[in-house]
Structure 1
Amino acid sequence: MEVDSARSDVSPLPREEYVEQAHLFEVLGARMRENIPAQEILESLREEILVTTKLPMAVDFMLAELRHLGAFATAMERLPHYFTPFQAFVMAEAENDRQRFDLRVGLEILRREAAYRAEGASRQGLFLYQLEVLCRNRMGYDAGLDAIAKDSAFDEHWRNWILTVRRQIGIVDMADLLFVRSEFYHERKAAEQGSPALFNELVAEATAQGFPPLFGRQEGRIAWANRKKDPLLLFGALHRQLGYPEAPRSAVADPEERLLPVLARRVEQLEARLKLVEEEQRGGIDLHRFYKPTDFDGVTGEG
């Protein structure tokens, strides 16, 4: 038996859906940096998105939820046939006021995942990308791995193993968890018994018991080489070798970057107040500029 670690189509939606999803998340993140309201962004994106996809209908629903509840995550949770549980989880974490997780980072996470699926993702790469996202951004492993396990991209064997990782992460070395479910583990076991020909028999036996290899020889070798090391070194090596996207991470906040917009708004407020004071000293404030021309229709000035 040989694990197919090459990229294969494990995405439940057509490629064009993921291409448009990636565009949606990219534009949302970019325009939010310009302080454009999310509702306005979605309304304009509704016209940009390819109408032959189902994303425009999803955007309409997201707009409705945004107007009523002020959040994206609830809409994504209520569209499980279109958005994955992991996508909804990431958005919920980004919108949680108690978490120090930037919404723009969350959108970039979703953009990279959608683009990866559009290119043709492998189960190994998809799982490792999602797990690295949880690790690097200090998101909850319990709820995060549960959301990953519910992704339709993973079959029953993968789902059972992901839930095992959920129970054992932090107790068992992540490299060991990967190693024992790889082809390289059975290869070493056969070599230790002095008969490399036993490899196929060991794999068949493990598969019959419900524990087939989920990772190939290459991933197993990387995991073996990174045992008892920082998990980030493991992720770095796997990312380089498997070619899945690099997991975005929250940047260290720059105090000056946060302070400058606040100061700019205060300066604008002071300028507006000074103009009002100057107008009053010159003979009064012209109130007409605070109203639309139609506001004075029918007004004659008579008591």
Structure 2
Amino acid sequence: MLEREEYIEQAHLFRSLAERMAAGIAAQEALVAIGQEVLATAKLPLAIGYLVGELKLVGTLSTALARLPHYFTAFQTFVMRQAEDEGGRFDMRTALAVLEREAGYRAEGASPQGLFFYRFECLSRNRLDYAHGLVAVAEDEVFDADWRSWIHTVARQVGFIDLADLVYVRSPEYWRIDSREALLAGRQASGPDRAILFGDKEGRIARANRGKDPLFFFAALQRQLGYPVVPRPAPATPSAESPALLARRLERLETRVKLLEEEARGGIDLARFDPKNFVARSDDGHG
């Protein structure tokens, strides 16, 4: 996991990039400017330099995030890849808002429970791919082996079993009710036979929301426990009226033209975009 200052600067990156792209500024130009603004003692300026290089090379940000797994998470990469899918319905503005909100939450000291609920609601509210999305959710250092195993179970059972039920049986509340029912029935109560991942409060909220719309469950968690609210999808804007989308497409066309020109002159130098160079520079600059 990163230092708090890195998450603060990441939140600034995603917020500023969204604002400038909405104003029609090309992503590459916006990133260069943001790279000058962010805290010089953080590792983010080096990461931004690599993002700019990847935009020049292939025209996408998700590929750069994927090549820097020591700095960006698999879930951040997944969200960006979904936003860059031109055939999808996930808007880049919403994606950047999702990433900004998560980075801000992590800067405050995110809990595994809060981070899981936030990410699951992101998938649910934006109708993203649960199978690949939950795999990306699990690939985070904040989750231990028990958590990762449970998240993979959720990925297999989502759509068949309510999330509230899956949370409820992993809370002390479930075993409290089970012990009470065993006592009333005159039988021996059994203790937990699986890892407890949630607290009493999450368990009670889950029990109260069994069989309900999962969005009600998320809203109750946010009200009662202060978990972060997921940004709502941005209203659809026709592509002809979206300067950010037009700027992205123009930038990709320019990138392809430059690649063709470089190839015609005798080849493309890929060394300057190698993530190993980023790691080396990061280690040299930060001990």
State the TM-score, normalizing by the size of structure 2. Answer: 0.80
Among 178, 181, 186, the residue aligned to 1:192: 181
Deviation of the 1:252 alpha carbon? 3.3
The alignment covers a number of residue pairs equal to 242
Distance (whole Å) between structure 1 residues aligned to residue 188 and residue 118 of structure 2:
29
2:45 corresponds to = 56
Task: From the superposition, tell whether residues 261 and 176 of structure 1 become closer, same or farther in structure 2 (CA, over 3 Å).
Answer: closer
Q: Is residue 17 from structure 1 mapped to residue 6 from structure 2 by the alignment?
A: yes
**What's 1:31 paired with?**
20
Other-structure match for 2:61:
72
The 5 A counterparts of 1:1-303 are: 12-194=1-183, 202-203=191-192, 206=193, 211-253=194-236
Match of 2:270 in 1: none
CA 1:232–1:63: 2 relative to 1, 3 Å: same
CA distance in 2, matches of 1:158, 1:72: 29
Cα RMSD (Å): 2.1
Distance 2:128 2:110 in 1: 23
TM-superposed deviation, 1:26: 0.5
Write the letter of the residue equivalent to 1:94.
A
Mapped contact 1:187–1:199 kept (Cα < 8 A): no
CA, structure 1 residues 91+199, in 2 after alignment: closer, same or farther (shift >3 Å)? farther
| Uncovered stretches (5+) of structure 1, i.e. residues with no partner | 1-11, 263-303
8 Å contact from structure 1 (residues 65, 74) kept in 2: yes
Moved over 6 A (4+): 198-201
Return the structure number with greater relative CO, CA threshold 8 A, min gap 6: 2
1:140 aligned partner, one-letter code? D
Deviation at 1:179, TM superposition (A): 0.4
Conserved in 2, the CA contact under 8 Å of 1:84 and 1:151?
yes
Distance verdict in 2 for CA 1:261–1:150, change over 3 Å: closer
Paired amino acid for 2:58: L
Q: 1:192 offset after TM fit, Å?
A: 1.2
Is this contact kept in 2: 1:25–1:111, CA < 8 A? yes
Given residue 216 of structure 1, which amino acid in structure 2 is its aligned partner?
A: G
| 8 A contact 2:83–2:90 mirrored in 1 | yes
Q: State the SS of the aligned residue for 2:191.
A: helix
Partner Cα separation in structure 1 for residue 134 and residue 188 of structure 2: 31
How much does 1:259 deviate?
6.1
What whole-Å deviation, never above 9, does each CA across 1:58-100 have from its counterpart, x for those lacking one?
A: 0011000000110100000000000000000000000011111
Where in structure 2 are there 5+ consecutive unaligned residues? 244-287
SS in 1 for 2:54: helix
> 2: distance between equivalents of 1:77 and 1:94?
14
| Alpha-carbon spacing, 1:70–1:122, altered in 2? closer, same or farther (3 Å) | same
1:253 is displaced (CA, Å) by 2.1
Pairwise CA distance, 1:194? 1.9
Q: 1:174 offset after TM fit, Å?
A: 1.2
Corresponding position of 2:275: none
Change (3 A) 1:31 1:199: farther
- Conserved in 2, the CA contact under 8 Å of 1:15 and 1:117? yes
TM-score (norm 1): 0.76
Does the C-alpha gap of structure 1 residues 261 and 114 become closer, same or farther in structure 2, counting only changes over 3 Å?
Answer: closer
Distance change (3 Å), C-alpha of 1:260 and 1:38: closer
